[in-house]
Amino acid sequence: MQNVLGSFGRSRARRYQPSGDRVTFADVAGIDEAKAELAEVVDFLRHPDKYRKLGGRIPHGVLLSGLPGTGKTLLARAVAGEADVPFFSMAASEFVEAIVGVGASRVRDLFTQAKEAAPAIVFIDELDAIGRSRTSGVAGFSGGNDEREQTLNQILTEMDGFDSSTSVIVIGATNRPDVLDQALLRPGRFDRRIAVQPPDRAGREAILKVHTRGVPLGPDVDLGRIAATTPGMVGADLANLVNEAALLAARRNHQVVDESDFTDALERIVLGAERQVMMSVEDRRRTAYHEAGHAIVGMLTEGADPVRKVSIIPRGVALGVTFAAPESDRFNYREPEVHAKINVALGGRAAEEVVFGETSTGAESDIQQLTEIARQMVGRWGMSSAIGPVAVIPRDGQGPFLPGAAEVSPHTQQLVDDEVRRIVDEAHDDVVALLRENRSKLDALATALLEHETLDEEDVYAAAGVERAAKPPADSYAAAAHTRVDG
Ligand SMILES: Nc1ncnc2c1ncn2[C@@H]1O[C@H](COP(=O)(O)OP(=O)(O)OP(=O)(O)O)[C@@H](O)[C@H]1O
Ligand SMILES: [Mg+2]
């Protein structure tokens, strides 16, 4: 029985004892740079005297930043496990409660506990929930609420209060390092910053190895191949993939998890689960032409990613899906490739126009996607000669104040809008012309889709009668659901 009022303000930090289900570096894979940097922190915690003797100042704060699911929380726990020290963890959002003062007192309490248990680790997850820059926000409004600010100030005070003999290391994690208050990043606070990058192909294979340790795998399972077909996936996605494959295998009464379980699990994750809906004959026909339009444009446009799969089985919110993915991880796209993405996105709607003489609501997400790409081309990537290489769209989280490229005049804004429109209009004309010229291919592919519902890479090209460009063998089923176009 807990006295609710009495425990008011008490830290709700969860304490992980070094024993128990201990996480170590062996559980973390594919992010070796971050691991190497943290190995140093582990050494500080294990042998603080070694460093103090030489007058070194032990770091107080380490900030892990990286996309969701890359393994930041896991890494922090692994540091505690490796160093064999208590681990106090708390999500910053838990600090922030409606009643002013509670957050700050929780922070005080958390640090008191940690100092008593030192050497120890304090882990503050989702640091950006309290550590957002106090000056950001729209001019004229006070930045954020008092509670957040008091909590943040208390963290800063606690960290400043560490003397050289305090063996408490604060690890913070965020996926928005760009919005953090500068005060948090000053020397003596979170002055070590470690970027946790999404894993590359070898890294993905290593992560799959970790997560299949306790999973009986069929002899046909090739983790290297799965890694090759999952560009863009991070640790959490891969852990999920292994789990889905295992569940699928169980449902199918398999004795081991085999290749087909992985392939189907991946398809489910990437394309969404199939959905039972009644579609009218007319809707099916329209969907078939819509998807065939994406695919034909994808196959016939220079610089477009190869088409891997086309399906008119409804999944998630989509009636159909055309799935294209590059041969390997992409970090950078050339201008023609970006144009190709816009063209492919327009292909579905354009096919409806060409075939039915009218469009439907089915193109909504395509339109969103291609408009966004066109805006980035003009406003961030300098791919419009009218604007030139000037950043006029603020990056996410920087609000209206973009350092160095601040205010955008109404004139420039108009120019951006005009350029976006021009790019999309030109692409639209090209795509409609392309589909008119290749109407027979479009018809053939749509017919094949109506018959088979789902076509794999080879069958798509065969049905449309398009020669596949010579490509490296195998690895054909790639699963980059979100071939990212940013940065
Ligand atoms: N590098 C990795 N190696 C092994 N497993 C990983 C890795 N990254 C993530 N995972 C798996 O995904 C799960 C979730 O990862 P984690 O919570 O550490 O991500 P995160 O970076 O903290 O994400 P968020 O920003 O959403 O909090 C882990 O518990 C683990 O199972
Ligand atoms: Mg996390």
Task: Decide: 148 in ligand 1 pocket, CB within 6 A.
Answer: no
Tokens standing for residue 379: 């406003």
Q: What is the pLDDT of residue 94?
A: 72
Q: What is the pLDDT of residues 148-204, one digit of tens each?
A: 778 888 888 888 887 767 788 999 999 888 888 888 888 888 888 999 989 988 999
Residues 285, 411: one domain? yes
**Three-state SS for 149?**
helix
Q: What is the pLDDT of residue 140?
A: 35
First to last CA, the chain: 53
Task: Decide: 69 in ligand 1 pocket, CB within 6 A.
Answer: yes
Question: 486 in a domain, yes or no?
Answer: no
Q: What is the pLDDT of residue 48?
A: 80
Nearest ligand (C-alpha, residue 67): 1
Q: What is the pLDDT of residues 463-486, one digit of tens each?
A: 999 988 754 433 333 333 333 222
- How far is Cα 298 from Cα 470, in angstroms, rounded to an integer? 16
Cβ atoms within 10 Å, residue 232: 19
The least confident of 16-20, 132-136, 315-319, 453-457 is 16-20
Task: Report whether pLDDT(306) > 80.
Answer: yes
Helical ranges in 26-127 per DSSP H: 32-46, 48-53, 72-83, 92-95, 102-117
User: Among 24, 65, 70, which is best to mutate for testing ligand 1, by the most ligand atoms less than 8 A from CB?
Assistant: 70
The size of the chain, in residues, is 487
Q: What is the pLDDT of residues 203-227, one digit of tens each?
A: 999 999 999 999 999 999 999 989 9
CA distances from 246 to 222, 238, 264, 420 (A): 15, 12, 11, 46
How much distance in Å is there from the Cα of 352 to the middle of ligand 2?
44
Instruction: Report which residue type is found at 125.
Output: D
Q: What is the pLDDT of residues 323-371, one digit of tens each?
A: 777 766 667 888 889 999 999 999 999 999 999 998 888 788 889 989 9
Residues 236, 141: one domain? no
Residues 362, 381: one domain? yes
Residues 237, 136: one domain? no
Q: Which domain holds residue 286?
A: 281-464
CA distances from 208 to 33, 202, 217, 370 (A): 18, 10, 12, 33
Task: Report whether pLDDT(274) > 50.
Answer: yes
φ, ψ for residue 446, nearest 5 deg: -60, -40
Task: Report whether pLDDT(487) > 50.
Answer: no
- How far is Cα 273 from Cα 260, in angstroms, rounded to an integer? 16
Q: At what angle do helices 410-437 and 439-452 cross, to 10 degrees?
A: 80
Nearest ligand (C-alpha, residue 128): 1
Residues 217, 187: one domain? no
CATH number, position 55 = 3.40.50.300
How much distance in Å is there from the Cα of 88 to the middle of ligand 1?
18
Residues 180, 100: one domain? yes
Task: Report whether pLDDT(132) > 90.
Answer: no
Residues 176, 233: one domain? no
Q: What is the pLDDT of residue 471?
A: 43
CATH number, position 328 = 1.20.58.760
Mark which of 271, 298, 327 sits at the end of a domain. Answer: 271
Q: What percent of the chain has pLDDT over 90?
A: 36
How much distance in Å is there from the Cα of 70 to the middle of ligand 1?
5
Choosing from 82, 126, 205, 291, which is the catalytic residue? 291
Question: 477 in a domain, yes or no?
Answer: no
Question: Catalytic annotation on 291?
Answer: yes
Q: What is the pLDDT of residue 296?
A: 96
Residues in contact with 243: Cβ distance below 8 Å, sequence separation at least 6, in sequence order: 211
Residues 336, 206: one domain? no
Q: 341: closest CA among 469, 431, 472, 476? A: 431
Q: Whose CA is nearest to atom 24 of ligand 1?
A: 68
Residues 319, 452: one domain? yes
126 CA closest ligand 1 atom index: 27
In this structure, are residues 65 and 15 in contact, taking their beta carbons and an 8 Å threshold? Answer: no
Task: Decide: 362 in ligand 1 pocket, CB within 6 A.
Answer: no
Rg over alpha carbons for the chain, rounded to the nearest Å, is 27
Task: Decide: 239 in ligand 1 pocket, CB within 6 A.
Answer: yes
Residues surrounding ion ligand 2 at CB below 5 Å: 72-73
How many distinct structural domains can be found in the chain? 3
Q: What is the pLDDT of residues 276-293, one digit of tens each?
A: 777 788 889 999 999 999
Q: What is the pLDDT of residues 25-40, one digit of tens each?
A: 999 999 998 999 899 8
193 half-sphere exposure, CB direction, 13 A CA radius: 15
CATH number, position 207 = 1.10.8.60
How much distance in Å is there from the Cα of 459 to the middle of ligand 1?
37
Q: At what angle do helices 32-46 and 72-83 cross, to 10 degrees?
A: 30
76 CA closest ligand 1 atom index: 18
Cis preceding linkage at 119, omega within 30: yes
Mark which of 149, 175, 196 sits at the end of a domain. Answer: 196
Residues in contact with 306: Cβ distance below 8 Å, sequence separation at least 6, in sequence order: 298, 324, 325, 326, 327, 457, 468, 469, 471
Residues 27, 174: one domain? yes
In this structure, are residues 193 and 177 in contact, taking their beta carbons and an 8 Å threshold? Answer: yes
Highest-confidence range of 311-325, 407-421, 472-486, by mean pLDDT? 407-421
Residues 190, 256: one domain? no
How much distance in Å is there from the Cα of 235 to the middle of ligand 2?
11
DSSP secondary structure code for residue 327 in this structure: S
Residues 238, 161: one domain? no
Bridge pairing between strands 61-66 and 192-196: parallel
Tokens standing for residue 160: 């400043």
Question: 5 in a domain, yes or no?
Answer: no
Question: 445 in a domain, yes or no?
Answer: yes
Q: 234: closest CA among 208, 268, 273? A: 208
